[in-house]
Amino acid sequence: MIFGKKKRKEKSPREEKKQSPPGKNKNLASRIASLFKKDGETEAFYEDLEDLLIESDMGGTVTMEISSDLRSRVKKNKISDQEGIIRELRTLVAESVKEDFFEPEEGKLNLFLILGVNGVGKTTSIAKMARHYKNRGVKDIVLAAADTFRAGAIDQLKIQGERTGCRVVAQQPGSDPGAVIFDTISSAKSRGEKLILADTAGRMHNKKNLVLELEKIDKVIKNNLGDGVYKKILVIDATTGQNGMQQAEIFHEAVGVDGIVMTKYDSTARGGLLVSICRRLGIPFLFLGRGEGLDDLTPFDKEVYLSELISLEGE
Ligand SMILES: Nc1nc2c(ncn2[C@@H]2O[C@H](COP(=O)(O)OP(=O)(O)O)[C@@H](O)[C@H]2O)c(=O)[nH]1
Ligand SMILES: [Mg+2]
């Protein structure tokens, strides 16, 4: 890993908010072009570019790595024009970003455990994913209400079950989430259902308890799923900036995250958090949430994402 000369401090969410660009346009290309017009390929240009990347939520460390890599590539490839620099930056960002898609395996019981802190959009994303997989022909989907902490969370999942035509397995509020998962796996096996989408609680105020609870759930799944397919999917809210990065680190360390759904992508003008998470943790992105409706979830498409973040001439 190459580090720049200076170390950047991660900005607090308050500082980040102050600098938030207006509107929801995430495209950095025209802003990079004006910086280049002003300064040419100088130290001042790279410093302003770093500020721009940080404002887009790429985080201090990743920004400095990318800026440093960009300098050396520009030198090595003797790039001197604006479009060339933008193209090289996009290539560097592209190398950091990973996409994936978890197609439920046929003939097996698939369990996708949906993780994330309160309010990021887990329950909403479960409904959207249920809709998405149903549209792709996965018929028997069951939702597990393993966020047992709040009665509201169970009711919310039941409503989503009705809206999407999926069976919901739930117990009383306060019951053991592991027991809900156990029930769901056994009933899904006996009914021959193919996909379990399991909701979880995400109380971050007590990291130790969160980790213990997730470890318990993880054990129940591993002991009972047999030869089924098990994926841990983390939901991150795009508007939370580098807090989202910290959440990804905590969950990844606790249980090992297989893929990420980024929600509220429609509500931010900053598209860089995804680069930061992919580059630092190497976790692929699966879906982007672009609204509150059931159909506002799109499979993550790296090329579309890149052209929204750093468009090239003619795009
Ligand atoms: N604009 C927007 N809002 C979203 C998106 N995903 C979820 N939300 C909203 O975020 C709020 C919290 O969602 P919820 O699913 O209850 O979060 P949970 O606590 O993680 O289960 C709700 O008001 C959702 O409608 C999204 O992609 N875009
Ligand atoms: Mg919820």
Q: What is the pLDDT of residue 295?
A: 97
Angle at 239 between CA 237 and CA 241, to 5 degrees: 95
Separation in Å, CA 10 to CA 179, 243, 246: 40, 10, 11
Per-residue pLDDT tens over the stretch 89-103: 999 999 999 999 999
Report the nearest atom of ligand 1 relative to the CA of 153: 21
Q: How far is the CA of 187 from the centre of ligand 2 (A)?
A: 22
With cut-offs at 50, 70 and 90, classify the pLDDT of residue 300. very high
Taking a 5 Å cut-off on Cβ, the residues next to ion ligand 2 are 122-123, 153
How much is the average pLDDT of 170-196?
97
- Indicate which ligand has the atom closest to the C-alpha of 146: 2
3-state secondary structure of 3: coil
Q: How far is CA 302 from CA 191, 224, 267, 271, 286, in A?
A: 37, 35, 19, 12, 10
Q: Which CATH number applies to 13-96?
A: 1.20.120.140
Confidence (pTM): 0.92
Distance of CA 12 from the midpoint of ligand 2 (Å): 26
Query: 54: which 2 tokens?
Result: 């940080």
Residue 195 CB partners (closer than 8 Å, separation 6+): 104, 109, 110, 111, 112, 133, 138, 140, 141, 142
The CATH H-level superfamily of 110-299 is P-loop containing nucleotide triphosphate hydrolases (3.40.50.300)
Digit-coded pLDDT (tens) for 38-77? 989 899 999 999 999 999 999 999 999 999 999 999 999 9
Q: Is residue 182 predicted with pLDDT exceeding 70?
A: yes
Contact 309, 28 (CB under 8 A): yes
Q: What are the residue boundaries of the structural domains of the chain, listed by start? A: 13-96, 110-299
Label the pairing between strands 141-146 and 167-169: parallel
Judged by its nearest atom, the ligand closest to the C-alpha of residue 148 is 2
